Structure 1
């Protein structure tokens, strides 16, 4: 198994998985309010009709509330990868 290609510097790939497509779109919209982002790419997320959205956010172009939160939050160096993520 190979590691996925990393996004370019200053960008982050975001995956949103939800049973309800509307919920996934709402989360993507909140991210777009805080960061410059690409249009979400939509994929089916299982036999039960779920939705998976992928988008790329530009972490160099943040709205003020996001910038303030990121500057005051602390990042843990522990690996918090979920078992189903690569």
Structure 2
């Protein structure tokens, strides 16, 4: 499996897979209320239809409620990938 380079320390790459582009956009909009982000990119999600949306979040510029959640969260130390992730 090819691995993409990791984003910078204060950024996170997010992939949203949804049945319709509208659902993917609604989820992305919620994330943008919590974090600064770049322009989203969308792609077909495969044979079954649907949409895959990619965006990069800037966690250094978090808004509430993400700011308070980030301040109190702790990493579990688990680096797990779902079976269907690429």
| TM-score, normalised via structure 2 length | 0.88
Q: Which residue of 2 aligns with 1:70?
A: 70
Q: Which residue of 1 aligns with 2:45?
A: 45
Q: Which residue of 2 aligns with 1:84?
A: 84
Instruction: Give the deviation of 1:51 after TM superposition.
Output: 0.1
Q: Which residue of 1 aligns with 2:31?
A: 31
Which aligned runs of 4 or more in structure 1 are off by greater than 4 angstroms? none
Change (3 A) 1:46 1:2: closer
Q: Which runs of 5+ in 1 are unaligned?
A: none
Distance 2:74 2:9 in 1: 20
Q: What CA deviation, in whole Å up to 9, does each residue of 1:30-57 have, x standing for no partner?
A: 1111000011100000223200000000
Aligned length, in residue pairs: 86
Change (3 A) 1:74 1:33: same
Q: Which residue of 2 aligns with 1:7?
A: 7
